[in-house]
Chains A and B, each alone.
Chain A
């Protein structure tokens, strides 16, 4: 946990609400990373009048944002040990409907938010025990989850394996099409005036002052030249810790967490599922356009990006056990992505003690899409006002200093 005084090293732009000798112009902002987090922050800041430049080493939205499943499951994904994340995930989940509506209006593009809910399904007696334990844990946290009998499960999803023995419904846990989200965010950010530099790698963060006295981020180095900014937002996902020039203590402990996934093609008029479904050992996400996403392995394999027979077999087998009808579906796509996993799987957000002008928005692990609206609003608010929302406070990089 950062000390109380840490955030005083961050300069406030502009000192809104009271007079100041400083110019009140909106800060110039550089965002590193054009995934859903970077783009949404850029959209918010550009809309607020900031000059925003977004750099990405690849194409916008083609990293973890592209690979994700788009689940917005604050309730059913909550496991023991991750309670600290709940205030943030629940807050962001509540922001999603308005965020989606605003984004669709601003971009003129759909993001296919679906609110049918998420259904966890148990197939065997052992599964029921595990599901029951998770359900009781989630109930103890007052989460919106309901226990369903096998018959109730099959009533909601008649294509499921008739052995379905019980289920848990997360009624507020929906989904969004993350790829459409990325396209819409890019369009909205550009319309708001942000400049996007794709396939332009940031070579280094430029920091003035020594590490001991506390420095200030003055911009980034691109093509050997300094691009100056008042604030630099690091939103480079799994690549974040590779940014050169980060002082010690400002290097976010983020690693790539490999995931293999695939998509099957359903008839959109006769979809096999409507809810997001979590049977044992996989999840199934039906899109409005008929794609059925099957995910995902979780592998600590560094940057390895190979699809493996074992990975695909495990996903297909789990999908087939839960939903025998997948046997007939064409495989449309298979891919590998890298979640930006922090050491405690929670995001790293907000100011960096000792480096004024540097703001973190990374390490979202498997919650990047869910946490996009909350991250965008709270981080943009911080950049504009210097305020650190109480929701952000527990997620500063200072928590890793021991």
Chain B
């Protein structure tokens, strides 16, 4: 079988799982989870890490184990997000940025108007922009149109673990998108991650579902398997759904020729 690579902005990954770094019981559990998941991309909040990369800080521990995807979590305005992205580029020597522009602290929903504006500015400034957005096909298209390298629609609000609340939208986004689609937020358990891949997503980003599970390392392994399984199922092509039973071994002989 030909190698099935995820390609974003000229980089190729064999794993289609992205892992967040927040909320683990401790850093060792995170490192073990990362290893168990097989994830090759790790997202870190620029606002919440020691940007000097001091020894034993998360940047120090992760740098040689995964591709760093800094994010702008906690930013509420275009100005704030752009500045934070520039800070990340300087400190971490990467032009990749997961753009988060949160509309309010209660819902943690993306503010799409500001998101498109900030994405356009960052693309112009040479960034590889991966925006966290709503599961809205039009918003996703706008983001791709301004030059984002991928889009990251939410499955459900951050941290809820509710799974994919509108699978029809996610499927529609995947079908129409000109850039990779990475499901971000809402995954609660392995089947959610598999479903995302079956719907046509190119990758899944998750955090809380692993970090707050009872056994994060085991859940991380489960997520790695689920994403791989969902991807294989997508590539294999599922059977059409039927409303009536049909025996898998025909009893009346083969029809036709």
Residues of chain A having any CB pair with chain B under 8 Å = 79-82, 137, 241, 253-256, 299-304, 341, 343-346
What separation, in Å, do the CA atoms of A224 and B212 have in the docked complex?
Answer: 49
Q: Select from chain B the residue with minimum beta-carbon distance to A310.
A: B74
Is B56 in contact with A343, judged by CB distance below 8 angstroms? yes
Contact among B27, B31, B50 for A302, CB-based, below 8 A: B50
A98 to B30 CA separation, bound complex (whole angstroms) = 37
Known: A300-B48, A300-B49, A302-B50. Is A82-B26 also a contact (CB below 8 A)? Answer: yes
B57 touches A81 (CB 8 A): no
B54 at interface by CB-CB < 8 Å: yes
Chain B residue with the shortest CB-CB distance to A83 = B25
Which residue of B28, B58, B212 contacts A344 across the interface (Cβ within 8 Å)?
A: B28
A345 to B25 alpha-carbon distance, docked (Å):
8
By the criterion CB–CB under 8 Å, are B49 and A343 in contact?
no
Of the residues A300, A302, A304, A344, contact of B29 by C-beta under 8 Å: A344
A80–B26 touching, CB < 8 Å:
no
Q: How many A-B residue pairs have CB under 8 A?
A: 58
Determine the chain A residues whose CB is within 8 A of the CB of B31 once the complex forms: 343
Tell me the residues in window 26-70 of chain B with beta carbons closer than 8 Å to chain A beta carbons. 26-29, 31, 48-50, 52, 54-58, 61
Does the CB pair A80–B25 fall under 8 Å?
Answer: yes
The interface residues of chain B, by DSSP majority, are classed as: loop
Chain B residues with CB under 8 Å of A299's CB are 48
Does A343 contact B213, Cβ atoms closer than 8 Å? no
B69-106 vs A: 1/0 string, CB under 8 Å? 00000000000000000000000000000000000000
Residues of B within 8 A of A137 (CB): 214
Across the interface, do A255 and B29 meet the contact criterion of CB distance under 8 Å?
Answer: no
Given contacts A301-B49, A301-B50, contact A81 B216 (CB under 8 A): yes
Say yes or no for B109: interface residue by CB 8 A criterion.
Answer: no
Interface size range on B against A: 20 to 34
Return the chain B residue nearest A251 by Cβ: B55
Interface contact A254-B56, CB-CB below 8 Å: yes
Contacts of B55 in A (CB 8 A): 241, 255
Contact between B25 and A81, CB atoms less than 8 A apart: yes
Task: Please give 5 more A-B residue pairs, beta carbons under 8 A apart, in addition to A253-B56, A255-B57, A302-B54.
Answer: A300-B50, A303-B54, A343-B28, A345-B25, A345-B28
Q: Which residues of A contact B52 (CB under 8 A)?
A: 302
Contact (Cβ within 8 A) B216 A302: no
Whether A80 contacts B27 in the complex (CB less than 8 A), given A300-B50, A302-B52, comes out as: no
Q: Given A300-B50, A301-B49, do A255 and B26 touch, yes or no (CB 8 Å)?
A: no
Residues on B with C-beta less than 8 A from A302 are 50, 52, 54, 57
Interface membership of B215, Cβ < 8 A: yes
Q: How far is the CB of A366 from chain B (nearest CB, A)?
A: 11
A79 near B50: Cβ-Cβ < 8 Å? no
Q: Roughly how many angstroms separate A157 CA and B28 CA in the complex, as a whole number?
A: 37
Determine the residue in chain B with the shortest Cβ distance to A78. B25
Q: Chain A nearest CB: distance from B104 CB in Å? A: 14
CA separation between A304 and B27, bound complex, in Å?
A: 19
| Closest chain A residue to B58, Cβ basis | A300
| B28/A80 in contact, CB under 8 A | no
- CB-CB nearest in chain B for A314: B105
Task: Tell me the bound Cα distance from A81 to B210 in angstroms.
Answer: 12
**Residue pair A304, B50 in contact (C-beta under 8 Å):** yes
Decide: B214 and A80 in contact? CB cutoff 8 A.
yes
Shortest distance between the CB of B54 and any CB in chain A (Å): 4
Q: State in angstroms the CA–CA spacing of A37 and B61 once bound together.
A: 27
| 3 pairs of A and B residues whose beta carbons are closest in the complex | A81-B25, A255-B56, A302-B50
Chain A residues in 8 Å Cβ range of B48: 299-301
In the assembled complex, the Cα of A79 lies from the Cα of B214 at a distance in Å of: 8
Q: Establish whether residues B57 and A344, one from each chain, have CB atoms under 8 Å apart when the complex forms.
A: no
Q: Is the CB of A343 within 8 A of B26?
A: yes
What B residues does A301 contact at CB under 8 A?
Answer: 48-50
For A79, the chain B residues whose CB sits under 8 A away are 25
What are 14 A-B contacts with C-beta separation under 8 Å? Answer: A81-B29, A81-B216, A241-B55, A255-B55, A256-B54, A300-B49, A301-B48, A302-B52, A302-B54, A343-B26, A343-B61, A344-B26, A344-B27, A345-B27
Whole-angstrom distance between the Cβ of B4 and the nearest chain A Cβ: 31
Residues of B within 8 A of A80 (CB): 25, 212-216
Which residues from chain B contact A254 at a C-beta distance below 8 Å?
56
Which residue on chain A has the smallest CB distance to residue B54?
Answer: A302
